[in-house]
Every structure is written in structure tokens, then in C-alpha cells.
């Protein structure tokens, strides 16, 4: 503005303009080093950047007197008067007449300031501003922890933060807004009260994105929920699945002896087993694809396995083991997962009649050719299941194929071959 004097150096008696044109600065290093400003807390030390209104260290800034020194320097009050003005009342104890007068005086002084301060984010807090004046922040650690704040130390923020009052959209019913009122996002990342939409808002940085305007909707009664019972929807929207890795691992660890028809538990156990015994020489498992046929009432493989369990009168997974099976084509992988293995297609019965498996993925990899898939199967133990060369498992299923003692649980993708497109709705 024409005719307006530029901000002058903070050194008393120096009338030179500040080096950066901002108030509170110095004209040069000489002035700044000659007359350092003292810590706003009144500890007697110089401020860390030799500017007025600042503190000497984080300790002083975080102490209970940080706002007192700020009020004294900004309002021109003696430090002792500022401390008396903002003295705290003990919980359940009424303020003295002097404290009430000083409180009213400070509230009037705050209203006269030309800056806009954000209130403490806790609605029940009597403090008029957050600790730093930023939206979404609290006045103290007690308010941040959800405890009642009985202190009046934070009647003014410790830093001036000119902020405009933004216009934010209406919040959809059922979702809690981002804890930063200045954020344009309509809800926090989880939809819960007290959460932010992103890390920027949590740190007090203005959020200029609209990525989080639509949070994930709460699971409806018609949605397929996680089988672990956490109440969240499954990760892929299908029944009999988990919401994520944590629930899958926890559920598997809690059910070491699952029912042979608890397909959700068996899938989780198979995934953990596959990753645990996977040899490093074959690279890294890209993904475990659970067999969606398990849980589908029309799946022939599940029906045949149920008949086999009934014939052997097995109780739970303590009477079964996992093993690998490799086949040379993707069509073969899909057929095994839906129809189970076919005893009529037996070839090369070097270790006796039956379907061949291995507990060593290196052995089964030799039969998988270039598909990049290995089938994880659950084998019922008993006289029909024999071991050869320490790693081979030969399961002599009934040749009619109506009952099977093995169950295809899922497929391991270890060459990033992609989704094997397994059939089923379970």
C-alpha cells in the first residue's frame, strides 16, 4: 500500500527496514547477534532464532508457561501478569475473583486481535484456541487423549496462525468428518469420529486433495462379511473369505484343529502352510488363490471329498496334511479345483496305484511345466496314504471317483501368471 512504512528492525533504536520485509525480523545479522530476543517463557535464555515471541528450546515451548510468555510478548504485558492471568484452577475448584477478571480481560484482548485462531478440536473443552492455532489440533495432551481439560493455560495459542474459515460440504449420514475442519473431504479415512482423511491433515498441513470425499460404506446386512467375525466385508466381496491378511492369520492360528468342512479355516491354514514351507529357490509366492468351489453347493470336488471323509470317518484337520500337486496346463489346474483329480487318468504309477503329491514344492514344480501354478491339496491320512522317497505322497482314492480322500484347497501363483480364473461362488 502506498505511503505505508515498511516493518522496522526489531533491535531497539534501529530504524532500518527488516531484511525480508516481515515484522519481527532484523535488518542484518549484526543487529540480530547484538541484541538477541529472550525466550518467551521467561527462562532468561535467548530465543532459538533470536526473534521475539519464540522459545529457547522445545522444552520451554512444551512447558506449561509457553502460552504465558507468548501472551506477555504479544500483548505487552509483564511476564508475571501474564502468568497470573492464565493461572489454572484445580479440577472442581472455582476461580478466584482475580482469576475471573484476568480471564475476562484476556478474552477481550483475544477478540481485539486481527488474527483468526482455531478452537480446540474437543468440543467440550473451554479453551478458546488450539495449542498452535491450527484447525484440527487440540489445546493440550489431555484433550487429545479424550480426557477433561480443567486448565485455562491455553486461552491463547502459542503461535499466530491466520486461517480463513473454509466452507466445507455437508457430511453424509453415518460418517464422521475429517478432524481437520479446514479439510474439504467429507469424511475421515475410516468414517470414525476423531480420525483424519490423510496424513497431511493429521500433521496440520492443508489438504488440497479430494481423494477421500467418499469413504468406504459400512457393511450392510446383505454384504458378505469376514468369516473371522470382525464385522467388515470380505476383501473381494465373496462369501467365505476374510477382510484382510490380519484376520486370515489370526483365524488360522486360533483353529489348529478345524473341521474338515470349515473351508474358510482350511483355506487360511493352507495359505499359511504354503508360505511357510515354500522353498527359496523357486522365487517368491505372488499370491495364494483360494478355491472358490469350496463352499459352492454344486462343486463336485467338495461333494467327493465329503463322501471320502464319511467313508473314513475322519473328524478334523488333525487327521489330514497339506501337499503339492503340479499339472502341465491351466485347464488342468481349473479342472482339478472344480472336479478334483480323476483316478481314470492315472499315469506312471512307480510307487503304486493312486494320485501323486509331494510335500516338497521343488518336486511338484517339475510337473507344473510353464503354468506357474501349484495346487495345494488337503490329504486325509490313513492306510490309503503312503509315503515314498520321504517327500512323495500317494493317495489311493477309489477308482470310481465318487469319493475322494484329497481336496484341492487353492492355487499358488509363483511366476506372476495372474488370476487362474477358478470356477465357483464359495
Q: What is the pLDDT along the chain (426 residues), one digit of tens a residue?
A: 455 677 888 777 778 888 777 777 778 877 776 656 667 666 667 777 766 667 777 666 655 343 443 433 444 444 333 333 333 444 445 666 766 666 666 555 545 443 445 677 777 776 766 766 666 677 777 877 777 776 544 444 444 333 333 333 333 344 567 788 777 776 676 666 777 777 778 777 777 655 444 444 444 545 677 766 666 777 777 666 778 777 776 666 655 677 899 898 899 889 988 998 899 889 889 999 999 999 899 999 999 999 999 999 988 888 899 999 999 999 999 999 999 999 999 888 899 999 999 999 999 999 887 889 999 999 999 999 999 988 899 999 999 989 999 999 999 999 988 999 999 887
Is the CB of residue 186 less than 8 Å from the CB of residue 167?
A: no
CA atoms 204, 205, 207, 212: torsion sign: negative
Task: Give the pLDDT score at 191.
Answer: 64
Neighbours of 277 (CB within 10 A): 12
Is the CB of residue 103 less than 8 Å from the CB of residue 155?
A: yes
Domains in the chain (CATH in brackets) are: 64-89+96-144 (no CATH), 166-218 (no CATH), 220-254 (no CATH), 257-413 (3.90.228.10)
Task: Give the pLDDT score at 168.
Answer: 35
- State how far the Cα of 299 lies from the Cα of 306, in Å rounded to an integer: 11
Is the CB of residue 414 less than 8 Å from the CB of residue 346?
A: no
Phi, psi of 297 (to 5 degrees): -65, -15
- State how far the Cα of 382 lies from the Cα of 328, in Å rounded to an integer: 28
Which of 23, 38, 50, 31 has the alpha carbon at shortest distance from 8? 23
- State how far the Cα of 372 lies from the Cα of 415, in Å rounded to an integer: 5
Residues 6+ apart with CB under 8 A from 379: 320, 321, 322, 323, 357, 385, 393, 395, 405, 406
Going from the C-alpha of 54 to that of each of 5, 177, 331, 333, the distances in angstroms are 25, 34, 72, 70
Task: Give the pLDDT score at 160.
Answer: 37
Neighbours of 390 (CB within 10 A): 8
Task: Give the pLDDT score at 65.
Answer: 40
- State how far the Cα of 404 lies from the Cα of 373, in Å rounded to an integer: 22
- State how far the Cα of 209 lies from the Cα of 341, in Å rounded to an integer: 53
Query: Whole-structure pTM over 0.85, yes or no?
Result: no
- State how far the Cα of 265 lies from the Cα of 344, in Å rounded to an integer: 31
Residue 213 grid cell: 470425499
Phi, psi of 324 (to 5 degrees): -95, 155
Task: Give the pLDDT score at 5.
Answer: 76
Adjacency order of strands within the sheet including 406-413:
287-290, 406-413, 373-380, 320-325, 355-358, 392-395, 385-388
- State how far the Cα of 43 lies from the Cα of 200, in Å rounded to an integer: 34
Residue for grid cell 481439560:
149
Amino acid at each position: 500500500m502506498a505511503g505505508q512504512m515498511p516493518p522496522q528492525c526489531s533491535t531497539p533504536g534501529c530504524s532500518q527496514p527488516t531484511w525480508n520485509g516481515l515484522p519481527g525480523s532484523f535488518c542484518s545479522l549484526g543487529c540480530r547477534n547484538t541484541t538477541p530476543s529472550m525466550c518467551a517463557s521467561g527462562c532468561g535464555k535467548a530465543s532459538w532464532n533470536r526473534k521475539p515471541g519464540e522459545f529457547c528450546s522445545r522444552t520451554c515451548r512444551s512447558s506449561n508457561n509457553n502460552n504465558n510468555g507468548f501472551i506477555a510478548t504479544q500483548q505487552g504485558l509483564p511476564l508475571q501478569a501474564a502468568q497470573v492471568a492464565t493461572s489454572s484452577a484445580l479440577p472442581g475448584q472455582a476461580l478466584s475473583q482475580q482469576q475471573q477478571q484476568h480471564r475476562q480481560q484476556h478474552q477481550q484482548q483475544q477478540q481485539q486481535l486481527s488474527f483468526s485462531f482455531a478452537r480446540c478440536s474437543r468440543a467440550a473443552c473451554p479453551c478458546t484456541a488450539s495449542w498452535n492455532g491450527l484447525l484440527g489440533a487440540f489445546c493440550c495432551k489431555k484433550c487429545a487423549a479424550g480426557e477433561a481439560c480443567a486448565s485455562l493455560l491455553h486461552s491463547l495459542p502459542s503461535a499466530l496462525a491466520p486461517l480463513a474459515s473454509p466452507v466445507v460440504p455437508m457430511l453424509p449420514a453415518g460418517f464422521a468428518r475429517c478432524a481437520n475442519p479446514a479439510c474439504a473431504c467429507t469424511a475421515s479415512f475410516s468414517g470414525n469420529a476423531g480420525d483424519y482423511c490423510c496424513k497431511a491433515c493429521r500433521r496440520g498441513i492443508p489438504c488440497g486433495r479430494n481423494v477421500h470425499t467418499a469413504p468406504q460404506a459400512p457393511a450392510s446386512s446383505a454384504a458378505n462379511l469376514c468369516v473371522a467375525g470382525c464385522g467388515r466385508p470380505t476383501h473381494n466381496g465373496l462369501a467365505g473369505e476374510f477382510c484382510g491378511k490380519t484376520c486370515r492369520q489370526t483365524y488360522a492360528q486360533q483353529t489348529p484343529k478345524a473341521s474338515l468342512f470349515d473351508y474358510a479355516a482350511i483355506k487360511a491354514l493352507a495359505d499359511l502352510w504354503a508360505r511357510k514351507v515354500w522353498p527359496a529357490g523357486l522365487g517368491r509366492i505372488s499370491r495364494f488363490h483360494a478355491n472358490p468351489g469350496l463352499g459352492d453347493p454344486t462343486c463336485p470336488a467338495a461333494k467327493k471329498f465329503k463322501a471320502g471323509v464319511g467313508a473314513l470317518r475322519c473328524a478334523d484337520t488333525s487327521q489330514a496334511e497339506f501337499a503339492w500337486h503340479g499339472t502341465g496346463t491351466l485347464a488342468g489346474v481349473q479342472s482339478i479345483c472344480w472336479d478334483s483329480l480323476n483316478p481314470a487318468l492315472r499315469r506312471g504309477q512307480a510307487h503304486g496305484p493312486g494320485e501323486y503329491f509331494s510335500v516338497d514344492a521343488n518336486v511338484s514344480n517339475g510337473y507344473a511345466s510353464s503354468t506357474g501354478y501349484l495346487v495345494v491339496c488337503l490329504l486325509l491320512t490313513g492306510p490309503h496314504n503312503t509315503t515314498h522317497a520321504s517327500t512323495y505322497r500317494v493317495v489311493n482314492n477309489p477308482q470310481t471317483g465318487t469319493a475322494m480322500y484329497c481336496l484341492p484347497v487353492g492355487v499358488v501363483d509363483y511366476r506372476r501368471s495372474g488370476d487362474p480364473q477358478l470356477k465357483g461362488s464359495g
